[in-house]
Amino acid sequence: MKTIIGNWKMNGSFEEVDSWISRFIRGFDQNYKQLSKCEIAICPPNIMLDYIDGEIINDSLKRLDQEILQKGQKIDDLSADEINDFLIEKRILKLGAQDCHHEESGAYTGDISAKMIKEVGCDYVILGHCERRRNHNESDTVIAKKIKSALENQIIPVICLGESKAVREKKDHLNFLKNQLIKTVPTGAKFSKMIIAYEPIWSIGTGIIPKAKEIAEVANLIKSVCKENFPESVGNLQVLYGGSVSTKNAANILAIPDISGLLVGKASLNPEDFIEICLS
């Protein structure tokens, strides 16, 4: 199953959120057959998570009502467990945070923990994004601690890796990415699902994407490094590509061997484009 994750970064307002959700639901329903086979998540700013979670739960409840009506049943005919299972199974959009702190609580002004984002309805958290590494001086060691905390709180970390333009030009990217991966994934960690997003820094927000064979080379490297170093996790490994993904290039990227999803920045802000990318 392919996984498409939208990273809204520091964008969006509550007014835009309402419009985004209703347009996303409309687009999803128009393409229900294909999209219900796809794992779709968005990572909006933290402040919007709770609100969006509520809207998506309302959508699932409406779907439950419709299904019950079609079957000629009443809601009272269902047990609490059956209702819960339905809400999980039929949920059309998952949520993720763009970061979390590695401690569960404490004197960390402005931070938010994995436990908190779990409480607010997140299944995912993006960790190690190059904008966090650059703007918040996040090291591989700190990112490894965050991944550990996410896993302890049953959140799937979307682990980002990527080389700079200078590293790529020196043709040192495979070495660089291998090191980044080994240093970032915490030793002995148990993943229910391991998601690694290859996001070359020079591609993010630039409209420039690597050639298909360059992405394939890195996806292959990630798979073999994981197989060698984290054999207990590799069965559930998914490699995503991120960096200037658009409606125009999504299908070609998804056709690359070993790529099973996308991390979409700017293009995820427009629900119609995001749906089109999910359909690619």
**Active site (catalytic) residues:** 129, 199
Label the pairing between strands 94-97 and 261-264. unpaired
- Interface residues toward ligand PGA, by CB under 6 A: 7, 199, 204-205, 242-245, 263-266
In angstroms, give the least distance from the CB of 119 to ligand PGA.
Answer: 25
Label the pairing between strands 237-242 and 194-198. parallel
Distance between CA atoms of residues 140 and 275, nearest Å: 33
Per DSSP, the three-state class of 220 is helix
Nearer to ligand PGA (CB atom), residue 7 or residue 238: 7
In angstroms, give the least distance from the CB of 262 to ligand PGA.
Answer: 9
Nearer to ligand PGA (CB atom), residue 59 or residue 199: 199
Nearer to ligand PGA (CB atom), residue 24 or residue 60: 24
Query: Residue 199: what residue type?
Result: E
Which residue in the block uniquely carries the two structure tokens 């938010």? Answer: 112
Distance between CA atoms of residues 266 and 169, nearest Å: 26
Nearer to ligand PGA (CB atom), residue 242 or residue 261: 242
Across 44-128, the runs of DSSP E, i.e. the strands, are 94-97, 124-127
Distance between CA atoms of residues 208 and 200, nearest Å: 10
In angstroms, give the least distance from the CB of 204 to ligand PGA.
Answer: 4
In angstroms, give the least distance from the CB of 6 to ligand PGA.
Answer: 9
